[in-house]
Structure 1
Amino acid sequence: MNARTAPPSSGYGIRCARPAEARAVAALLARAFADDPVMTWMVPGPAGRERRIAAYFRLAQRQQRPRAGGVRLAATSGGRLLAAALWSGPGRWKASAVQELATLPHYARVFGARGLPRAADVQNSLHEAHPDAPHWYLSTLGTDPAMQGTGVGTALVREQLAHCDRLGQCAYLESSKASNVPFYERFGFRVTHELPLPDGGPTLWTMWREPGPVTDAAPEPAPVR
């Protein structure tokens, strides 16, 4: 386990990712998801796992790029990336059939012959469980392991949820770790289903959040988690 460090003394802010940062964002998320149960199930075997997970997150970002604010960062003024989140707005969470077909060869290289059927099972399970009601979808949240516990991930989530509250819009996510469920519950998310993956795969927890009251105070990057 990486030792926790204090937030950078120079401070940090929340902003949209720049196209030139795609590889750095992918590398950060690969480190954050190195021990994720679902990711390690889809990418079996430790050889080259972090590299392949990073390749997966480069593909995931391509899906988000046409969407304004789809890739959000907690970052220092000097450009150090601390945490990243992938958001989709209402009605925009699912890739088109054409997009999925175009990316299939890339996903095949990422997951390999053994992992690709598992990745397909994960996608199908998530699509079947996904709610129909309009919502913002947090598909990915990852904090640099050295920064976990310092509040940067919390600040990143709060920034978008404050926007949801102002618009009166709901939010949705899936947690791949039981230990992360209380973290999301602190924002007002509630578990709607436990979703065991097929063929003995790990369990996911789907979570839904109704919009909260609007406050005058702007969300601050305060160290809550």
Structure 2
Amino acid sequence: MGVAIRQAGESDREALVRLLDTAFMNDPVSSWVFPDPAHRRRVHGPFMGVFLDVALTDGRVDITEDGSAAALWLQVEAGAPEEEDDTPARMRETADPDNERAELVGRLTGEVHPHDRAHEYLLLIAVSPERQGEGLGTALIAPVLDRCDRDGVPAYLEASSARSRGLYERLGFDFAGRIVDLPDGPPMWPMWREPRP
């Protein structure tokens, strides 16, 4: 399947926020963070925008030419971060200051994130709901995984649903052994992929 992919920039931000908002609106984790659907519709876009801003500033965002899918990547260096990550606090402050869960999800995923080896981190991948199941996610991820294999670099992500976990397993990711436990919420599966020879 020939999918045209390009690197997104700041001029794509508005369209990307809409894509992330739509793609994750009914995701189990988003539904846990914002249980009330009406409230979620109001604050979810700004919440997802924080992830996007991190990737646009410190990483890479790959987008299909038609804007129907995007992958947010960060390169993580080996070793514990020198400073505390303020992203979880920004997520809460930006989207929903009175909602502890808007910050907690980032803190809990940060606690299990491995730092012993440098790796590519798939922060998020979003596909428009009407285009899911067409292979766009795989088309976006495959070039980065090919580069990881060539360069001997592992990759990491957190799967937020059983469906996405299955996709990642088909791409060579393995469950990292410790579920992210969201209090009274859905499981998240940290997954690691060793580079292939």
What do residues 153-208 of structure 1 show as CA deviations (whole Å, max 9, x unaligned)?
11001011111111110000000101221111111001113424243121101100
1:1-225 matches, within 5 Å, as: 12-67=3-58, 70-75=60-65, 80-91=66-77, 96-97=83-84, 100=86, 104=89, 107-113=92-98, 115=99, 117-132=100-115, 133-213=117-197
Between the aligned partners of 1:176 and 1:81, the Cα distance in structure 2 is 22
CA contact (8 A) 1:121 1:197 kept: no
Q: How many residues are matched?
A: 195
CA contact (8 A) 1:32 1:144 kept: yes
Query: What TM-score, normalized by structure 1, do the two folds share?
Result: 0.78
Deviation at 1:51, TM superposition (A): 4.2
CA contact (8 A) 1:31 1:145 kept: yes
Between the aligned partners of 1:38 and 1:89, the Cα distance in structure 2 is 24
Between the aligned partners of 1:13 and 1:60, the Cα distance in structure 2 is 23
Between the aligned partners of 2:172 and 2:135, the Cα distance in structure 1 is 17
Deviation at 1:22, TM superposition (A): 0.4
SS in 1 for 2:30: helix
Between the aligned partners of 1:95 and 1:23, the Cα distance in structure 2 is 32
Between the aligned partners of 1:50 and 1:166, the Cα distance in structure 2 is 41
CA contact (8 A) 1:195 1:206 kept: yes
SS in 2 for 1:81: coil
Between the aligned partners of 2:156 and 2:90, the Cα distance in structure 1 is 29
Between the aligned partners of 2:189 and 2:47, the Cα distance in structure 1 is 21
Deviates more, 1:180-189 or 1:104-113: 104-113
What do residues 30-55 of structure 1 show as CA deviations (whole Å, max 9, x unaligned)?
11111111111112211142342221
Query: What TM-score, normalized by structure 2, do the two folds share?
Result: 0.88
More helix by share: 2
CA contact (8 A) 2:112 2:178 kept: no
Deviation at 1:111, TM superposition (A): 2.5
Deviates more, 1:82-91 or 1:190-199: 190-199
Between the aligned partners of 2:149 and 2:23, the Cα distance in structure 1 is 28
Unaligned runs of 5+ in 1: 1-6, 214-225
Unaligned runs of 5+ in 2: none
CA contact (8 A) 1:31 1:50 kept: no
